[in-house]
Amino acid sequence: MSDLNSYGFGQTGSISNVQVRNRVLRNTYALLALSMIPTVIGAWLGVAMGLSLFSGSPFIGFIVFMAVAFGFFWAIEKNKDSGVGVLLLLGFTFFMGIMMSRLIGFTLNSYSNGATLIMLSFGGTAAIFATMATIATVSKSDFAGMGKWLMVGVLLLIVASLANIWLQLPALMLTVMVLAIAIFSAFILVDVQRVINGGETNYIMATLAIYLDVYNVFTNLLALLGIVGGNRD
In angstroms, the Cα distances linking 161 to 25, 59, 157, 158 are: 33, 10, 6, 5
> For 77-115, what is each residue's pLDDT tens digit?
999 999 999 999 999 999 999 999 999 999 999 999 999
Residue 57 covered by a domain: yes
Q: What is the pTM of this model?
A: 0.89
Average pLDDT for residues 185-195, to the nearest whole number?
96
The structural domain count of the chain equals 1
Residue 50 covered by a domain: yes
Residue 1 covered by a domain: no
> pLDDT category, 56, cuts 50, 70, 90?
low
Residue 51 covered by a domain: yes
- Among 140, 219, 143, 145, residue whose Cα is nearest residue 188: 143
Residue 182 covered by a domain: yes
Average pLDDT for residues 195-214, to the nearest whole number?
95
**DSSP H helix total and E strand total for the chain:** 7, 0
Q: How many CB atoms lie within 10 A of CB 60?
A: 10
Could you list the residue range(s) of the whole structural domain that residue 43 is in? Answer: 17-229
Torsion of CA 19, 204, 124, 221, to 10 degrees: -150
